[in-house]
Homo-oligomer: A and B are copies of this chain.
Protein backbone atom coordinates (compact mmCIF):
# COMPACT_ATOMS: atom_id res chain seq x y z
CA UNK A 1 0.00 0.00 0.00
CA UNK A 2 2.87 2.38 0.76
CA UNK A 3 4.27 1.86 -2.73
CA UNK A 4 0.80 2.30 -4.22
CA UNK A 5 0.46 5.58 -2.31
CA UNK A 6 3.36 6.96 -4.33
CA UNK A 7 1.70 5.82 -7.54
CA UNK A 8 -1.59 7.47 -6.58
CA UNK A 9 0.20 10.67 -5.63
CA UNK A 10 1.88 10.75 -9.02
CA UNK A 11 -1.52 10.44 -10.68
CA UNK A 12 -3.63 12.96 -8.72
CA UNK A 13 -1.05 15.13 -6.96
CA UNK A 14 -0.23 15.18 -3.25
CA UNK A 15 -3.02 17.66 -2.45
CA UNK A 16 -5.63 15.21 -3.71
CA UNK A 17 -4.81 12.24 -1.55
CA UNK A 18 -5.36 12.02 2.19
CA UNK A 19 -4.83 9.61 5.07
CA UNK A 20 -6.34 11.90 7.75
CA UNK A 21 -8.38 9.82 10.20
CA UNK A 22 -11.53 11.98 10.15
CA UNK A 23 -11.53 11.92 6.34
CA UNK A 24 -11.11 8.16 6.28
CA UNK A 25 -14.02 7.75 8.70
CA UNK A 26 -16.35 10.16 6.92
CA UNK A 27 -15.64 8.27 3.67
CA UNK A 28 -16.63 4.92 5.15
CA UNK A 29 -19.91 5.58 6.92
CA UNK A 30 -22.37 8.15 8.27
CA UNK A 31 -24.53 8.64 11.33
CA UNK A 32 -27.73 8.06 9.30
CA UNK A 33 -26.55 4.78 7.83
CA UNK A 34 -28.22 1.67 9.18
CA UNK A 35 -24.91 -0.19 9.03
CA UNK A 36 -23.04 0.36 12.28
CA UNK A 37 -19.52 1.42 11.25
CA UNK A 38 -16.92 -1.02 12.55
CA UNK A 39 -13.69 0.75 13.57
CA UNK A 40 -11.60 -1.25 11.07
CA UNK A 41 -13.88 -0.64 8.12
CA UNK A 42 -12.07 2.45 6.81
CA UNK A 43 -9.95 2.87 3.71
CA UNK A 44 -6.19 3.22 3.80
CA UNK A 45 -6.44 6.52 1.96
CA UNK A 46 -8.86 8.71 0.06
CA UNK A 47 -7.87 9.57 -3.51
CA UNK A 48 -9.52 12.41 -5.44
CA UNK A 49 -9.11 12.08 -9.21
CA UNK A 50 -9.92 14.99 -11.50
CA UNK A 51 -10.96 13.17 -14.66
CA UNK A 52 -11.68 9.82 -16.28
CA UNK A 53 -8.05 9.27 -17.29
CA UNK A 54 -6.93 9.60 -13.67
CA UNK A 55 -9.61 7.18 -12.50
CA UNK A 56 -8.43 4.72 -15.13
CA UNK A 57 -4.79 5.11 -14.03
CA UNK A 58 -5.82 4.56 -10.39
CA UNK A 59 -7.74 1.41 -11.28
CA UNK A 60 -4.79 0.06 -13.25
CA UNK A 61 -2.63 0.36 -10.13
CA UNK A 62 -5.33 -1.24 -7.97
CA UNK A 63 -5.73 -4.04 -10.49
CA UNK A 64 -2.02 -4.73 -10.59
CA UNK A 65 -1.59 -4.55 -6.82
CA UNK A 66 -4.98 -6.12 -5.93
CA UNK A 67 -6.13 -3.12 -3.90
CA UNK A 68 -9.86 -2.96 -2.98
CA UNK A 69 -11.77 0.18 -4.02
CA UNK A 70 -14.90 1.91 -2.78
CA UNK A 71 -16.44 4.84 -4.68
CA UNK A 72 -17.76 7.95 -2.93
CA UNK A 73 -19.83 10.90 -4.13
CA UNK A 74 -22.65 12.31 -1.97
CA UNK A 75 -22.29 9.77 0.86
CA UNK A 76 -26.04 9.76 1.57
CA UNK A 77 -26.67 6.05 1.05
CA UNK A 78 -28.15 4.17 3.97
CA UNK A 79 -27.22 0.50 3.90
CA UNK A 80 -23.45 0.51 4.39
CA UNK A 81 -22.80 0.93 0.67
CA UNK A 82 -19.40 2.57 1.10
CA UNK A 83 -18.13 0.89 4.27
CA UNK A 84 -14.54 -0.10 3.50
CA UNK A 85 -14.89 -3.63 4.81
CA UNK A 86 -11.75 -4.70 2.97
CA UNK A 87 -9.73 -1.53 3.56
CA UNK A 88 -8.12 -0.48 0.30
CA UNK A 89 -8.73 2.98 -1.10
CA UNK A 90 -11.73 5.24 -1.42
CA UNK A 91 -12.08 7.05 -4.74
CA UNK A 92 -13.75 10.36 -3.88
CA UNK A 93 -15.27 12.03 -6.95
CA UNK A 94 -15.69 15.50 -5.39
CA UNK A 95 -13.40 17.15 -7.93
CA UNK A 96 -15.49 15.75 -10.79
CA UNK A 97 -18.51 17.98 -10.19
CA UNK A 98 -19.15 19.67 -13.54
CA UNK A 99 -22.18 19.83 -15.76
CA UNK A 100 -20.28 19.24 -18.99
CA UNK A 101 -22.86 19.78 -21.70
CA UNK A 102 -26.55 20.61 -21.80
CA UNK A 103 -28.22 19.58 -25.06
CA UNK A 104 -31.51 21.35 -24.49
CA UNK A 105 -33.17 20.46 -27.78
CA UNK A 106 -32.13 16.81 -27.43
CA UNK A 107 -33.40 16.82 -23.83
CA UNK A 108 -30.18 15.43 -22.40
CA UNK A 109 -27.32 16.60 -20.21
CA UNK A 110 -23.80 15.23 -19.69
CA UNK A 111 -22.55 15.40 -16.10
CA UNK A 112 -19.77 14.23 -13.84
CA UNK A 113 -20.50 11.98 -10.85
CA UNK A 114 -20.27 14.63 -8.10
CA UNK A 115 -23.07 16.77 -9.50
CA UNK A 116 -25.95 16.89 -7.00
CA UNK A 117 -29.47 16.45 -8.34
CA UNK A 118 -30.67 19.59 -6.60
CA UNK A 119 -27.97 21.76 -8.18
CA UNK A 120 -28.57 20.07 -11.52
CA UNK A 121 -32.23 21.00 -11.34
CA UNK A 122 -31.41 24.60 -10.51
CA UNK A 123 -29.32 24.77 -13.67
CA UNK A 124 -31.90 22.95 -15.79
CA UNK A 125 -34.69 25.23 -14.59
CA UNK A 126 -33.03 28.10 -16.47
CA UNK A 127 -33.93 26.22 -19.67
CA UNK A 128 -37.40 25.20 -18.41
CA UNK A 129 -36.15 21.62 -17.99
CA UNK A 130 -35.91 19.21 -15.08
CA UNK A 131 -34.46 15.86 -14.03
CA UNK A 132 -37.13 13.83 -12.21
CA UNK A 133 -35.30 11.38 -9.86
CA UNK A 134 -35.47 13.00 -6.40
CA UNK A 135 -33.72 10.92 -3.72
CA UNK A 136 -32.58 12.35 -0.37
CA UNK A 137 -31.02 15.80 -0.25
CA UNK A 138 -27.28 15.78 -0.90
CA UNK A 139 -27.34 12.73 -3.16
CA UNK A 140 -25.13 13.00 -6.25
CA UNK A 141 -25.33 11.46 -9.70
CA UNK A 142 -22.57 8.89 -9.05
CA UNK A 143 -24.35 7.42 -6.06
CA UNK A 144 -27.75 7.82 -7.67
CA UNK A 145 -26.54 5.64 -10.53
CA UNK A 146 -25.03 3.27 -7.97
CA UNK A 147 -28.22 2.68 -6.00
CA UNK A 148 -30.66 3.07 -8.91
CA UNK A 149 -32.47 5.63 -6.76
CA UNK A 150 -35.89 7.12 -7.21
CA UNK A 151 -38.12 9.30 -4.97
CA UNK A 152 -41.52 10.93 -5.04
CA UNK A 153 -41.47 11.54 -8.80
CA UNK A 154 -41.01 7.85 -9.63
CA UNK A 155 -44.74 7.10 -9.84
CA UNK A 156 -45.09 9.35 -12.88
CA UNK A 157 -41.57 9.52 -14.26
CA UNK A 158 -39.93 6.21 -13.32
CA UNK A 159 -36.67 5.66 -11.47
CA UNK A 160 -33.01 6.42 -12.16
CA UNK A 161 -32.99 3.40 -14.48
CA UNK A 162 -35.25 5.30 -16.83
CA UNK A 163 -33.25 8.54 -16.89
CA UNK A 164 -29.71 7.46 -17.72
CA UNK A 165 -28.95 7.33 -21.44
CA UNK A 166 -25.28 6.46 -21.25
CA UNK A 167 -22.43 6.01 -18.79
CA UNK A 168 -18.68 6.31 -19.04
CA UNK A 169 -17.34 3.60 -16.78
CA UNK A 170 -13.85 2.61 -15.66
CA UNK A 171 -13.77 -1.18 -15.34
CA UNK A 172 -11.84 -3.16 -12.73
CA UNK A 173 -8.74 -3.37 -14.91
CA UNK A 174 -8.77 0.33 -15.79
CA UNK A 175 -10.42 -0.06 -19.22
CA UNK A 176 -12.70 2.86 -20.04
CA UNK A 177 -15.99 2.12 -21.79
CA UNK A 178 -18.93 4.27 -22.81
CA UNK A 179 -22.16 2.31 -22.81
CA UNK A 180 -24.01 4.36 -25.49
CA UNK A 181 -23.94 7.53 -27.53
CA UNK A 182 -26.86 9.95 -27.06
CA UNK A 183 -29.96 8.56 -28.78
CA UNK A 184 -33.00 8.54 -26.48
CA UNK A 185 -33.76 4.99 -27.53
CA UNK A 186 -31.52 2.13 -28.59
CA UNK A 187 -31.70 -1.62 -28.86
CA UNK A 188 -28.12 -1.98 -30.05
CA UNK A 189 -26.81 -4.79 -27.90
CA UNK A 190 -26.89 -5.63 -24.22
CA UNK A 191 -28.13 -2.86 -21.99
CA UNK A 192 -24.86 -2.17 -20.19
CA UNK A 193 -26.21 1.20 -19.05
CA UNK A 194 -28.92 -0.43 -16.98
CA UNK A 195 -26.53 -3.14 -15.86
CA UNK A 196 -24.40 -0.48 -14.17
CA UNK A 197 -27.37 1.46 -12.76
CA UNK A 198 -28.03 -0.12 -9.38
CA UNK A 199 -24.71 -1.98 -9.29
CA UNK A 200 -23.48 0.03 -6.27
CA UNK A 201 -19.94 0.50 -7.50
CA UNK A 202 -19.35 -3.25 -7.71
CA UNK A 203 -18.96 -3.55 -11.49
CA UNK A 204 -17.14 -0.35 -12.41
CA UNK A 205 -16.61 3.30 -11.49
CA UNK A 206 -18.91 5.76 -13.22
CA UNK A 207 -17.00 8.86 -14.34
CA UNK A 208 -19.57 10.49 -16.60
CA UNK A 209 -23.31 10.17 -17.18
CA UNK A 210 -25.55 11.31 -20.00
CA UNK A 211 -28.96 11.86 -18.46
CA UNK A 212 -32.34 12.33 -20.04
CA UNK A 213 -34.09 15.48 -18.93
CA UNK A 214 -37.65 16.56 -19.56
CA UNK A 215 -39.61 19.75 -20.00
CA UNK A 216 -41.17 21.14 -16.82
CA UNK A 217 -44.91 20.62 -16.73
CA UNK A 218 -46.90 23.70 -17.71
CA UNK A 219 -48.66 23.75 -14.36
CA UNK A 220 -48.46 21.85 -11.07
CA UNK A 221 -50.45 21.76 -7.87
CA UNK A 222 -50.66 19.88 -4.58
CA UNK A 223 -53.51 18.48 -2.52
CA UNK A 224 -53.47 17.00 0.98
CA UNK A 225 -56.13 14.71 2.26
CA UNK A 226 -56.58 13.01 5.66
CA UNK A 227 -58.27 9.66 6.40
CA UNK A 228 -59.29 7.72 9.50
CA UNK A 229 -57.13 4.72 8.60
CA UNK A 230 -54.26 3.65 6.39
CA UNK A 231 -56.68 1.26 4.68
CA UNK A 232 -59.08 4.08 3.76
CA UNK A 233 -56.16 6.09 2.38
CA UNK A 234 -54.98 3.07 0.35
CA UNK A 235 -58.51 2.57 -0.92
CA UNK A 236 -58.46 6.14 -2.20
CA UNK A 237 -55.17 5.46 -4.01
CA UNK A 238 -56.62 2.39 -5.72
CA UNK A 239 -59.63 4.43 -6.83
CA UNK A 240 -57.50 7.29 -8.19
CA UNK A 241 -55.06 5.00 -10.01
CA UNK A 242 -57.87 2.77 -11.26
CA UNK A 243 -59.73 5.77 -12.70
CA UNK A 244 -56.70 6.68 -14.78
CA UNK A 245 -56.22 10.10 -13.20
CA UNK A 246 -52.74 11.04 -14.48
CA UNK A 247 -51.38 12.30 -11.16
CA UNK A 248 -47.67 13.13 -10.80
CA UNK A 249 -47.07 11.71 -7.31
CA UNK A 250 -48.95 10.18 -4.37
CA UNK A 251 -47.33 9.95 -0.97
CA UNK A 252 -48.69 8.51 2.24
CA UNK A 253 -47.65 9.67 5.72
CA UNK A 254 -49.08 7.83 8.71
CA UNK A 255 -50.53 9.32 11.92
CA UNK A 256 -47.20 8.95 13.77
CA UNK A 257 -45.41 10.83 11.02
CA UNK A 258 -47.99 13.61 10.95
CA UNK A 259 -47.72 13.97 14.74
CA UNK A 260 -43.91 14.28 14.45
CA UNK A 261 -44.34 17.02 11.84
CA UNK A 262 -46.79 18.85 14.09
CA UNK A 263 -44.48 18.46 17.10
CA UNK A 264 -41.51 19.77 15.13
CA UNK A 265 -43.53 22.89 14.29
CA UNK A 266 -41.54 23.48 11.14
CA UNK A 267 -44.48 23.86 8.77
CA UNK A 268 -46.73 26.87 8.49
CA UNK A 269 -49.86 24.94 9.43
CA UNK A 270 -50.91 22.28 11.92
CA UNK A 271 -52.15 18.98 10.54
CA UNK A 272 -54.50 16.26 11.69
CA UNK A 273 -52.61 13.45 13.44
CA UNK A 274 -54.08 11.02 10.93
CA UNK A 275 -52.99 8.98 7.89
CA UNK A 276 -52.63 11.54 5.14
CA UNK A 277 -52.21 11.42 1.37
CA UNK A 278 -50.18 14.04 -0.47
CA UNK A 279 -50.97 14.38 -4.16
CA UNK A 280 -48.92 16.20 -6.77
CA UNK A 281 -50.63 17.19 -10.02
CA UNK A 282 -48.94 18.21 -13.24
CA UNK A 283 -50.15 19.06 -16.72
CA UNK A 284 -51.89 21.78 -18.64
CA UNK A 285 -53.65 24.30 -16.37
CA UNK A 286 -57.16 23.03 -17.00
CA UNK A 287 -56.15 19.38 -16.70
CA UNK A 288 -54.66 20.03 -13.26
CA UNK A 289 -57.93 21.61 -12.18
CA UNK A 290 -59.84 18.65 -13.59
CA UNK A 291 -57.56 16.12 -11.86
CA UNK A 292 -57.99 17.86 -8.51
CA UNK A 293 -61.76 17.70 -8.91
CA UNK A 294 -61.66 14.00 -9.78
CA UNK A 295 -59.37 13.16 -6.86
CA UNK A 296 -61.51 15.14 -4.41
CA UNK A 297 -64.59 13.17 -5.46
CA UNK A 298 -62.79 9.83 -5.17
CA UNK A 299 -61.25 10.75 -1.81
CA UNK A 300 -64.68 11.57 -0.42
CA UNK A 301 -65.93 8.14 -1.56
CA UNK A 302 -63.07 6.56 0.41
CA UNK A 303 -64.02 8.49 3.55
CA UNK A 304 -61.54 11.36 3.51
CA UNK A 305 -61.96 13.67 6.49
CA UNK A 306 -60.30 16.68 4.89
CA UNK A 307 -59.17 17.83 1.46
CA UNK A 308 -57.05 20.91 0.87
CA UNK A 309 -55.55 21.97 -2.41
CA UNK A 310 -53.10 24.73 -3.17
CA UNK A 311 -54.58 27.90 -4.60
CA UNK A 312 -51.24 29.64 -5.07
CA UNK A 313 -47.56 28.91 -5.58
CA UNK A 314 -46.97 29.67 -1.89
CA UNK A 315 -49.70 27.30 -0.74
CA UNK A 316 -48.26 24.62 -3.01
CA UNK A 317 -44.88 24.97 -1.31
CA UNK A 318 -46.48 25.04 2.13
CA UNK A 319 -48.50 21.90 1.54
CA UNK A 320 -45.63 19.87 0.08
CA UNK A 321 -43.27 21.09 2.80
CA UNK A 322 -44.78 18.70 5.34
CA UNK A 323 -43.83 15.77 3.12
CA UNK A 324 -40.28 17.13 2.83
CA UNK A 325 -39.92 17.49 6.60
CA UNK A 326 -40.78 13.86 7.33
CA UNK A 327 -37.29 12.55 8.11
CA UNK A 328 -36.13 15.62 10.03
CA UNK A 329 -39.25 15.71 12.16
CA UNK A 330 -38.63 12.15 13.39
CA UNK A 331 -34.99 12.96 14.07
CA UNK A 332 -36.14 16.01 16.03
CA UNK A 333 -37.93 13.71 18.49
CA UNK A 334 -34.56 12.37 19.57
CA UNK A 335 -32.81 15.71 19.77
CA UNK A 336 -30.60 16.40 22.75
CA UNK A 337 -29.61 12.76 23.21
CA UNK A 338 -26.49 11.84 21.25
CA UNK A 339 -27.25 8.15 21.49
CA UNK A 340 -30.53 8.51 19.62
CA UNK A 341 -30.41 7.61 15.97
CA UNK A 342 -32.84 7.12 13.11
CA UNK A 343 -33.04 3.90 11.07
CA UNK A 344 -34.61 4.50 7.67
CA UNK A 345 -35.41 1.34 5.77
CA UNK A 346 -37.44 0.72 2.65
CA UNK A 347 -39.33 -2.15 1.07
CA UNK A 348 -41.84 -2.47 -1.79
CA UNK A 349 -44.76 -4.84 -2.35
CA UNK A 350 -47.40 -5.29 -5.06
CA UNK A 351 -49.66 -2.30 -4.40
CA UNK A 352 -52.69 -4.35 -3.34
CA UNK A 353 -50.69 -5.63 -0.34
CA UNK A 354 -49.68 -2.17 0.85
CA UNK A 355 -52.42 -1.69 3.47
CA UNK A 356 -51.66 -5.15 4.94
CA UNK A 357 -47.95 -4.62 5.31
CA UNK A 358 -48.28 -1.08 6.63
CA UNK A 359 -50.84 -2.12 9.23
CA UNK A 360 -48.83 -5.13 10.40
CA UNK A 361 -45.63 -3.10 10.55
CA UNK A 362 -47.28 -0.25 12.46
CA UNK A 363 -48.71 -2.73 14.96
CA UNK A 364 -45.33 -4.30 15.60
CA UNK A 365 -43.58 -0.95 15.96
CA UNK A 366 -46.25 0.26 18.39
CA UNK A 367 -45.87 -2.90 20.50
CA UNK A 368 -42.07 -2.53 20.55
CA UNK A 369 -42.29 0.79 22.36
CA UNK A 370 -40.06 2.51 19.77
CA UNK A 371 -41.21 5.53 17.83
CA UNK A 372 -41.48 4.62 14.17
CA UNK A 373 -43.28 6.39 11.34
CA UNK A 374 -44.33 5.28 7.88
CA UNK A 375 -43.75 7.38 4.75
CA UNK A 376 -44.57 5.83 1.44
CA UNK A 377 -44.41 6.29 -2.30
CA UNK A 378 -47.78 4.63 -2.28
CA UNK A 379 -48.35 4.62 -6.04
CA UNK A 380 -45.33 2.34 -6.42
CA UNK A 381 -46.10 0.09 -3.44
CA UNK A 382 -42.87 1.40 -1.90
CA UNK A 383 -42.61 2.74 1.65
CA UNK A 384 -40.10 3.67 4.31
CA UNK A 385 -40.18 3.10 7.99
CA UNK A 386 -38.29 5.73 10.02
CA UNK A 387 -37.47 4.26 13.42
CA UNK A 388 -36.00 6.27 16.29
CA UNK A 389 -33.80 4.18 18.57
CA UNK A 390 -31.03 4.38 21.12
CA UNK A 391 -27.83 3.18 19.46
CA UNK A 392 -26.48 1.75 22.70
CA UNK A 393 -29.53 -0.01 24.10
CA UNK A 394 -32.07 -0.47 21.29
CA UNK A 395 -30.08 -1.47 18.20
CA UNK A 396 -31.10 -5.12 18.39
CA UNK A 397 -34.75 -4.16 18.87
CA UNK A 398 -34.74 -1.77 15.90
CA UNK A 399 -32.87 -4.32 13.80
CA UNK A 400 -35.47 -6.95 14.58
CA UNK A 401 -38.32 -4.62 13.56
CA UNK A 402 -36.58 -3.95 10.25
CA UNK A 403 -35.93 -7.66 9.74
CA UNK A 404 -39.59 -8.48 10.22
CA UNK A 405 -40.70 -5.70 7.89
CA UNK A 406 -38.37 -6.97 5.15
CA UNK A 407 -39.46 -10.57 5.69
CA UNK A 408 -43.10 -9.51 5.47
CA UNK A 409 -42.43 -7.68 2.19
CA UNK A 410 -40.68 -10.67 0.65
CA UNK A 411 -43.46 -13.02 1.74
CA UNK A 412 -45.98 -10.70 0.06
CA UNK A 413 -44.13 -11.09 -3.29
CA UNK A 414 -42.29 -7.84 -2.68
CA UNK A 415 -38.69 -6.78 -2.38
CA UNK A 416 -36.18 -6.10 0.40
CA UNK A 417 -35.55 -2.65 -1.04
CA UNK A 418 -37.54 -0.48 -3.40
CA UNK A 419 -35.02 2.30 -3.81
CA UNK A 420 -32.29 2.41 -1.15
CA UNK A 421 -30.29 -0.53 -2.52
CA UNK A 422 -28.66 -3.52 -0.89
CA UNK A 423 -25.24 -2.50 0.42
CA UNK A 424 -24.23 -4.69 3.35
CA UNK A 425 -27.50 -4.61 5.25
CA UNK A 426 -29.92 -6.18 2.75
CA UNK A 427 -27.64 -8.66 0.97
CA UNK A 428 -28.68 -11.72 2.96
CA UNK A 429 -32.32 -11.15 2.03
CA UNK A 430 -31.65 -11.69 -1.66
CA UNK A 431 -31.57 -15.50 -1.51
CA UNK A 432 -34.97 -15.42 0.24
CA UNK A 433 -36.40 -12.91 -2.19
CA UNK A 434 -34.96 -14.28 -5.42
CA UNK A 435 -33.71 -17.79 -4.75
CA UNK A 436 -30.16 -19.09 -4.55
CA UNK A 437 -29.87 -19.64 -8.31
CA UNK A 438 -30.80 -16.05 -9.11
CA UNK A 439 -28.26 -14.78 -6.59
CA UNK A 440 -25.71 -17.14 -8.17
CA UNK A 441 -26.50 -15.53 -11.55
CA UNK A 442 -25.86 -12.12 -9.97
CA UNK A 443 -22.58 -13.38 -8.55
CA UNK A 444 -21.61 -14.65 -12.00
CA UNK A 445 -22.21 -11.17 -13.41
CA UNK A 446 -20.13 -9.64 -10.63
CA UNK A 447 -17.21 -12.00 -11.18
CA UNK A 448 -17.34 -11.59 -14.96
CA UNK A 449 -16.65 -7.88 -14.55
CA UNK A 450 -14.55 -7.98 -11.41
CA UNK A 451 -12.87 -11.39 -11.14
CA UNK A 452 -10.44 -10.18 -8.45
CA UNK A 453 -13.29 -8.69 -6.43
CA UNK A 454 -11.71 -5.28 -6.09
CA UNK A 455 -14.79 -3.12 -6.55
CA UNK A 456 -16.85 -2.69 -3.38
CA UNK A 457 -16.52 -6.38 -2.74
CA UNK A 458 -19.22 -8.33 -0.84
CA UNK A 459 -21.79 -5.59 -1.35
CA UNK A 460 -25.06 -6.67 -3.05
CA UNK A 461 -23.94 -10.33 -3.18
CA UNK A 462 -21.42 -11.97 -0.92
CA UNK A 463 -18.51 -13.56 -2.71
CA UNK A 464 -17.50 -15.38 0.44
CA UNK A 465 -20.21 -17.15 2.47
CA UNK A 466 -21.21 -15.54 5.81
CA UNK A 467 -19.67 -16.63 9.10
CA UNK A 468 -21.83 -18.82 11.32
CA UNK A 469 -24.36 -16.75 13.26
CA UNK A 470 -23.67 -13.66 11.16
CA UNK A 471 -27.03 -13.77 9.41
CA UNK A 472 -30.30 -13.34 11.31
CA UNK A 473 -32.54 -16.39 11.14
CA UNK A 474 -35.33 -16.29 8.59
Which residues of A approach B to under 8 Å, CB–CB? 103, 105-108, 128, 147-150, 154, 158-159, 161-162, 171, 175-192, 194-195, 197-199, 203, 215-218, 238, 241-246, 283-287, 290-291, 294, 348-352, 377, 380-382, 409-410, 413-422, 426, 429-430, 433-435, 437-442, 444-449, 460-461
In the assembled complex, the CB of A168 is this many whole angstroms from the nearest CB of chain B, namely: 10
Q: Are B106 and A415 in contact (CB under 8 A)?
A: no
Most chain-B CB neighbours within 10 Å: which of A185, A198, A440?
Answer: A185
Let me know if B291 and A415 touch, CB within 8 A. Answer: no
Q: How far is the CB of A33 from chain B (nearest CB, A)?
A: 16
Q: How many copies of this chain does the complex contain? A: 2
- Determine how close the nearest CB of chain B comes to the CB of A19; give it in whole angstroms: 33
Contacts of A128 in B (CB 8 A): 242, 244
Q: For residue A455, give the distance in angstroms from its CB to the closest CB of chain B.
A: 13
Interface centre among A244, A294, A351, A420 (most CB of B within 10 A): A244
CB distance from A3 to the nearest CB of B (A): 28
Separation of A404 and B194 alpha carbons in the complex (Å): 29
Question: 15 A-B contacts, Cβ less than 8 Å apart?
Answer: A107-B241, A175-B437, A176-B437, A178-B438, A180-B415, A182-B414, A184-B350, A184-B380, A185-B415, A188-B422, A188-B430, A189-B422, A190-B446, A191-B197, A218-B245
The CA-CA distance from A420 to B352 in the complex, in Å, is: 35
Cα separation A460 to B290 with both chains bound (whole Å) = 48
Q: How far is the CA of A420 from the CA of B347 in the complex (A)?
A: 35
Check B187–A149 contact: CB distance below 8 A. Answer: yes
Cβ 8 A contact of A444, one of B148, B241, B286, B448? B448
Contacts of A413 in B (CB 8 A): 181-183
Kindly list chain B residues whose C-beta atoms are within 8 Å of the C-beta of A285. 290
